[in-house]
Copies of this chain bind each other. A is one copy, B any other.
Amino acid sequence: MTQTRRERLREETAAEIKQVARRQMAEEGAAALSLRAIAREMGLTAPALYRYYPNRDALVTALIVEAYINLGDAMEAAEAKAAATDYDGRWQRLAIAYRDWALAHREDYNLIYGTPIPGYDAPRDQTILPAGRILILIGQLLGDAWDAGRLQLASGYGRLSAELEQAADELRPYLPQANVPTAAIILTLVLLGQLHGLVWGELYEHFPPGLAESGELFQVEIGAISHRLGLG
C-alpha cells in the first residue's frame, strides 16, 4: 500500500502532464492539444511522455474522464447542500453547479460536451460511466420527486409510442431506481439538453453579449422549469 518514492514521483508527473494539458487547452483549444507542446512547457522531451501515456489519444481520454468526474463531483456536492426532500432546491443546485463548472472550466466543458476532437474517437467503455453519472444525478432527483408525488410530467409525455417506451425502458437497469415512469427517463435527457443549451448560448456567444453573463437568464429559466415540473 505504501508507495515507493518512484511510484509517487511517477503519479505526480502523470498528474502534472494532465494539468499542463488543461492549461494549454484553455489557451489554444482542446483540438490543438499537442504532446510536444506539453513536453516543452514541462522542460521534457516529447518521447518522455510516452512513459506515462501510450499515445495522444490516451491522454485525451484521461482528460475527458477526469473532467466528467470533476463535473459530477461538483454537482453532487452542490446538491447535497439541499435537504433530500427539497426537490426544487436540489434541482436548482444541480443546475447552477453545472453552469458554474462550465464557466470555470471552459475547455474541460468543450472537451466533454463540445464538438468531438477531429481524429479522436472516445472509447465508450471508458467514458460511459463518468458521463452517465451526470444523467443519473438528474434522473435520481426526478425519481425521488416522483416517489414523493412531486413531479408533474407534461401532457405530451403521456403518449409515447411503444418503440420509444421500449428504448427508454432498456435504460432502466442502469438507473438507481427501477420504478420511475418512462416519461421521466425521457425528461432526464431533455433536461440535460436544456442545461447544455443555456450554457452553450452563453459560452459560445450565441446569445447576444451582455444578456446571459449575470446568470439571471439561467436562473429564471431553471426556476421556470422547476415550476412547471411541480418541484417547487
Contacts and interface: CB of A to CB of B under 8 A. Distances in A.
A29 B121 CA distance: 12
**Looking at chain A, what size class is its interface with the partner chain?**
35 or more
Contacts of A30: 115, 118
A56 interface: no
A31 interface: yes
A198 B208 contact: no
Contacts of A32: 118-119
A114 B113 contact: no
A231 to B, nearest CB: 13
- Protomer copies: 2
A224 B116 CA distance: 30
Given A30-B115, A160-B216, A224-B156, A194 B194 contact: yes
Contact of A201 (B119, B192, B220): B192
A181 interface: no
Interface string A134-156: 00000000000000000000111
Interface string A149-182: 0000011110111011001101100000000000
Nearest to A164: B216
A160 to B, nearest CB: 7
B186 A155 contact: no
Contacts of A115: 29-31, 110, 114-115, 204
Interface in A95-129: 110, 113-119
A200 B206 contact: no
A47 B154 CA distance: 58
A91 B29 CA distance: 35
A95 to B, nearest CB: 13
Contacts of A170: 210
Nearest to A113: B206
Interface in A35-50: none
Contact of A217 (B119, B186, B197): B186
Nearest to A115: B114
Contacts of A217: 164, 186, 189-190
Interface of A: 28-32, 110, 113-119, 131, 154-157, 159-161, 163-164, 167-168, 170-171, 186, 189-190, 192-198, 200-201, 204, 206-208, 210-212, 214, 216-217, 220-221, 223-224, 227-228
